[in-house]
Structure 1
Amino acid sequence: MSAIAKPEPAPHLRPVVASREPQPVIVKLDQVYKSFGDNQVLKGVSFEVARGEMIAIIGASGSGKSTALRCIDRLETIDSGSIEVAGIRVDDPQVDLHKLRREVGIVFQSYNLFPHLNVLENVMLALRHVKQQDKAEARRVALAALAQVGLDEKANAYPEQLSGGQQQRVAIARSLAMAPKVMLFDEVTSALDPQLTGEVLRVMEDLAANGMTMLLVTHEMNFAKRVADRIIYMHQGRVWEVGPGEMLDHPYTPELQAFLAADL
């Protein structure tokens, strides 16, 4: 394990005006460090997410944002610190991964659909094998999830017959069908053209409006500004600046100013 760097000063935090009753914390990262060999990617990352919050995580490539997301779902193990999600200690070596994955859904840039299964079968798969639902119940739940992303009429289509945006919406439906308490989205629109990106973002906006707890790693600044309850800007493996969408118009730090200027 690499040596732990000296903690940096606290990130720049701004007041967020509460638009609803305070909710309990459902995701908590506390002083999380993660290295790959000699490359220290996370350097004391700490933040909390309340139930029903939509958090957008932004930052340059290599800032640690996707690694932080993958650590929340235990796709990566951390070197030190702690992560708790829905009452589960993710950093516990004895963590029940099946229980964790039932509580946390994650959607990636790549859709990871099985090409030999149709859309309905792709969504039903985890319901049958992880939740042990019978075929009729799994079909009912899967069709409801597909309807939620506007694709119930494509239930019998195969992935190759769908656009990239439709495939990504199927991937979202697959996670939604498991009824997770938290949804993680890792650059889910980065491989899509603007029109298809809009399809996927509308689905995610609906999920946020309906109270799904979401953490979204994204380069879609306008979407983050409009929809996110809070934005976390990561820089060089640290949480650098945190605030509501307005922080993108008036960044405090020169690092965020430079990042936003480069994104224009």
Structure 2
Amino acid sequence: MNPSSPNPEAASSPVVRLHDVHKSFGSLKVLQGVGFDVDRGQVTAIIGRSGSGKSTALRCIDRLERIDSGEIVVCGHRVDAPGIDLKALRLDVGIVFQSYNLFPHLTIEQNITLAPRSAKGLSRSEARSIALDVLAKVGLSDKASYYPEQLSGGQQQRVAIARSLAMQPKVMLFDEVTSALDPELTGEVLRVIEDLAAGGMTMVMVTHEMAFARKVADQIVFMHKGKVWERGGPEILSEPQTAELRQFVASDL
């Protein structure tokens, strides 16, 4: 069997598994033995100070960064395998960044239908039907014919989420998706993510929104100096076991 091919036995395994993952940029060690599992339907929030390795860990899950050693398995794909089928991996994994990355010259509908048509070979009508469905999920049914510049930052971020959903991924990754938004717009984006969680979507999100993490996450992963320092349910934010997490939580109050 190709080591990067989905394993039919993976249905009962964690959807995402990182084991002893190391990653350096030159002499800078960013990830030092990171490991955690994400089960099907589980929402995992990765928290920690800037420079703790949160976003790098997330990018490694989608093979946007190559790891130096360790193992990452996502939806049965061995992400660290030399022969990984990146197209197959990214059909299963959607990722949304802080920047919206929408094409300014395309309408919202065109932004959303582009990938389903090019990557999945869907017809224009099939892709349009999916686009309208995901726009309804993010509360933007009336914006299909608009251009990105006609939308607020919060609306553009919701379109970015809809664009990922249009590919019908098994896992959604969110990298600080509200950090560039003001509080009102942040709320509308977080409500969309909360609805996805309620619908059973498996998600891994890097976030600085501690109140949201407490409310929505099933698992909290606290990273510090490139390592998983503490991991558990939301209760670890109320009862930290280490001085580092206590200080981090206190700084957010």
Which TM-score tier does this pair reach, normalised by the shorter chain?
over 0.9
1:213 equivalent among 191, 198, 202? 202
Partner of 1:168: 157
Q: Once the 2 structures are TM-superposed, how far is the Cα of residue 24 of structure 1 from its aligned partner?
A: 3.6
Q: Could you tell me which residue of structure 2 aligns to residue 7 of structure 1?
A: none
Contact 1:42 1:238 (C-alpha < 8 Å) held by counterparts: yes
Confirm or deny that 1:79 pairs with 2:68: yes
The answer to whether the Cα contact below 8 Å between 1:111 and 1:168 also exists between their aligned partners in 2 is yes
Post-superposition CA distance 1:41-65 (Å, at most 9, x none): 0000011000000000000000001
1:224 to 203, 208, 213: 213
1:34: Cα distance to partner?
A: 0.1
Deviation larger for 170-179 or 247-256: 247-256
Q: Which moved more, 1:127-136 or 1:22-31?
A: 22-31
For residues 50 and 134 of structure 2, what CA distance do their matches in structure 1 show?
Answer: 32
Residue equivalent to 2:185 = 196
Which residue of structure 1 aligns with residue 113 of structure 2?
Answer: 124
Indicate which of 243, 248, 252 corresponds to 2:232: 243
Query: Which amino acid is the alignment partner of residue 196 of structure 1?
Result: L
Q: Which has more helix, going by share of residues? A: 2
| Equivalent AA in structure 2 for residue 250 of structure 1 | E
Q: Which residue of 2 aligns with 1:45?
A: 34
Give the 3-state SS of the residue equivalent to 1:25 in structure 2: coil
Q: Structure 1 residue 36: deviation in Å?
A: 0.3
Partner of residue 139 from structure 1, selected from 125, 128, 131 = 128
How far, CA to CA, are the matches of 1:124 and 1:205 in structure 2? Answer: 24
Letter in 2 for 1:137: E
Q: Distance in 2 between matches of 1:56 and 1:255?
A: 17
TM normalised by structure 2 equals: 0.95
Contact kept in structure 2, 1:23 and 1:52, CA below 8 Å: no
Cα deviation for residue 231 of structure 1 reads 0.4
Deviations 1:73-131 (A, max 9, x none): 00000000010000000001111111011000000000000000010000001011111
Q: CA deviation at 1:243?
A: 1.4
Match of 1:109 in 2: 98
How many Å separate the matches in 2 of 1:188 and 1:39?
Answer: 26
Gaps of 5+ in 1: 1-21
The equivalent of 2:7 in structure 1 is: none
In structure 2, how many angstroms separate the alpha carbons of the residues matched to 1:30 and 1:174? 30
Q: Cα offset for 1:152?
A: 1.3
Q: Which moved more, 1:75-84 or 1:22-31?
A: 22-31
Q: Residue 231 of structure 2 aligns to a residue in which SS? A: strand
Where does residue 53 of structure 2 map in the other structure?
64
From 57, 79, 83, the counterpart of 1:90: 79
Contact 1:149 1:170 in 2 (8 A): yes
What SS does the corresponding residue of 1:130 show, helix, strand or coil? Answer: helix
Alpha-carbon contact 1:84-1:90 (below 8 Å) kept: yes
TM-score by structure 1 length?
0.91
For residues 147-162 of structure 1, the aligned pairs below 5 Å read 147-162=136-151
Q: Structure 1, residues 143-185: CA drift from partner, whole Å, max 9, x if none?
A: 1011111111100000000000000000000000100000000
| Mapped pair 1:252 → 2:222 | no
Percent identity, please: 67
